[in-house]
Each structure stands twice: as C-alpha cells, then as structure tokens.
C-alpha cells in the first residue's frame, strides 16, 4: 500500500484548512498536505470541502502535496466552504430570541450561492407554551414557501435522526448565530469529538463563540458534516433586483401566476 501511495496520485476532501497546510481525507487515510506554490497564486485559499489531487511525499508520516484543486460545484464565502450539498441552519426561539431578519438574510445568501438549506429549530426541551406557539408560526412561515423545517433538542436527542437523514450521503455544514446550540447538536452526533461551548452572554443574549475554524467531520461513508464559526449578521452582496426576486420562492411562485 505504501509503495502505491508513492507512485499513484489520489484524490481526497479537505477536512481542515490552516495557514500553510490542510488535512485531506482519502480512501487510505488522512494526510497533512501542503499546497503547491502555483496553487497559492491561482486561488485565494483552499477551503474545507475542496476536492483535491495529492502526491504523497512521505507515506510513513502521511504527508503530501496538493497538486490540483478540482472544480468546485458550490462555494459559500462565509463561512468559507466548497462543494456543499446542504446547509443546516440552526435557530431557536429563546436564548437567543428568534430573528426573522437573520434567517431571511441567511436564506438569501444560500439561494444566491445555489445551496439547499434545511432550517432547524433547536432547544425545544426548553420551550414553554408561548415558545411552542412561536416555533409553530416560524415553521409554518418557511414551510409555506418550500423549506424543510425540523425541530430538535441537543439535550434529549429529539429530532436528531431527522437531521441525519437529511445529511446522509452529502457534504453538509451546520451554521447559525452563536448560542443556538450548533456545537451541542454536533456533540450528540460526534460524541468522541471535542466541541467547546459556553453559557450565553446575559448582556447580549448571545452565545460566547468557541468554535474558531471550520472542521469537516465524517459521519459515515460519503457523509461529512462541518461545524462552522458563529456569526451574528449576514453580509449581503450587491445584487440586481431581478436576481434578488429569484431568491425568494414565494415571490417566484406569485410571479408565475401574475398576468402582468
């Protein structure tokens, strides 16, 4: 096997990206891989999720060179990830309170980058009667325009199977504002991986963010799930009105029925 690794180029998926190297998951193991100088000039950076071709330089220590970055199917600039099949956008209705503006901004960005999004309402174990009503309204709002909306509890594990069913066979990322329980959900999925979490900031009613870089974790054969740095707001790029309208399913549906 080691002789073949020296003579055969192989492909893999970037699961971690650092300043001067990346970690690439392949069929024979994980390699610490350094990008060729030419790649650094052609690309701003290698991203988690990139599919790359490697040349092994040391089979004993699993070191390699990244020879080629294969074409990206999709690209999400914030957090930077390539070849995403699914975005799991985690929200809750309390601690922190729900923000429709934040959800809409995120969904708009996902639509602009042709990414499929599943909305998750987390922390349902903490909900009181009013919270459950707010969650039902939130769910109805986005299901009405075609989004899949799931409910979950990182504490009890409720809803976890539904999330994993959506992620099966895909490269997925888990995103959302700090404090909604992203890392807690991932800790249920990957109990052997260390996800650091902290209590909410009482002043801002937002979580103190502890994930500092994106890591892609393999759940099963062909399935990868990423934990991503938290964010409070989504930066919206400049966009033409026609393109903006195309990002809203409810406007598209109405427009196709309008005679004018």
95 plus 221 within the same structural domain:
yes
Q: Is 171's pLDDT higher than 60?
A: yes
26 plus 114 within the same structural domain:
no
Give per-residue pLDDT as tens, 194-215.
Answer: 765 544 444 434 444 444 578 8
Among candidate residues 69, 87, 106, the one where a domain is terminated: 69
Among candidate residues 43, 69, 95, the one where a domain is terminated: 69
Give the model's pLDDT for residue 76.
78
CATH number of the domain at 23, please. 2.40.50.140
Q: At CA 180, angle to CA 179 and CA 181, rounded to 5?
A: 95
Among candidate residues 51, 69, 87, the one where a domain is terminated: 69
Report the chain's mean pLDDT, rounded to a whole number.
82
Mean pLDDT of 132-150: 97
193 plus 150 within the same structural domain:
yes
91 plus 57 within the same structural domain:
no
The radius of gyration computed from the CA coordinates of the chain, to the nearest angstrom, equals 20
Structural domain count of the chain: 2
Q: What is the DSSP string of 125-179?
A: GG--HHHHHHHHHHHHHHHTTT-EEEE--TTT-TTHHHHHHHHTTSEEEEE-STT
CB distance 227 to 193 below 8 Å: no
Give the model's pLDDT for residue 260.
42
Q: Is 75's pLDDT higher than 90?
A: no
Bridge partner list, 16: 23, 215
Residue 100, domain member (yes or no): yes
Q: Give the model's confidence band at 245: pLDDT under 50 very low, under 70 low, under 90 confident, else very high.
A: low
Q: Give the model's confidence band at 183: pLDDT under 50 very low, under 70 low, under 90 confident, else very high.
A: confident
Residue 205, domain member (yes or no): yes
Q: Give the model's confidence band at 19: pLDDT under 50 very low, under 70 low, under 90 confident, else very high.
A: confident
CB distance 82 to 71 below 8 Å: no
Residue 254, domain member (yes or no): no
Residue 93, domain member (yes or no): yes
Mean pLDDT of 70-76: 89
C-alpha to C-alpha distance for 28 and 168, rounded to whole angstroms: 22
Give per-residue pLDDT as tens, 28-58.
Answer: 999 999 998 767 666 668 899 999 999 999 9
Task: Spell out a b/e string for 210-244, using b for 16 or more CB atoms within 10 Å of the CB, else e.
Answer: ebeebbbbebeeebbbbbbbbbeebeeeeeeeeee
Residue 127, domain member (yes or no): yes
Q: Which domain range does residue 93 map to?
A: 75-227
174 plus 61 within the same structural domain:
no
> pTM value?
0.78
6 plus 98 within the same structural domain:
no
Range with lowest mean pLDDT among 123-127, 130-134, 221-225, 256-260: 256-260
């Amino acid at each position: 096997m080691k002789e073949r690794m020296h003579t055969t180029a192989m492909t893999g998926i970037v699961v971690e990206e650092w300043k001067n190297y990346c970690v690439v998951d392949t069929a024979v193991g994980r390699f610490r891989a350094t990008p060729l100088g030419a790649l650094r000039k052609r690309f701003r950076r290698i991203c988690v999720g990139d599919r790359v071709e490697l040349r092994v330089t040391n089979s004993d220590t699993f070191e390699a060179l990244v020879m080629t970055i294969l074409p990206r199917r999709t690209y999400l600039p914030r957090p930077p990830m390539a070849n995403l099949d699914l975005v799991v956008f985690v929200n809750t209705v309390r601690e922190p309170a729900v923000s429709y503006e934040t959800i809409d901004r995120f969904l708009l960005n996902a639509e602009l980058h042709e990414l499929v999004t599943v909305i998750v309402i987390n922390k349902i174990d903490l909900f009181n009667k009013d919270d459950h009503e707010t969650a039902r309204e939130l769910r109805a709002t986005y299901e009405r325009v075609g989004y899949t909306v799931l409910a979950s509890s990182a504490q009890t594990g409720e809803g976890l199977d539904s999330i994993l069913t959506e992620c099966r066979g895909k490269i997925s990322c888990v995103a959302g504002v700090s404090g909604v329980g992203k890392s807690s959900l991932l800790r249920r999925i990957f109990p052997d991986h260390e996800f650091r979490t902290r209590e909410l900031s009482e002043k801002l009613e937002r979580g103190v963010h502890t994930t500092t870089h994106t890591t892609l974790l393999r759940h099963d054969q062909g399935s990868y799930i990423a934990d991503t740095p938290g964010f409070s707001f989504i930066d919206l790029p400049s966009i033409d009105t026609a393109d903006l309208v195309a990002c809203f399913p409810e406007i598209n549906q109405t427009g196709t029925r309008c005679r004018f």
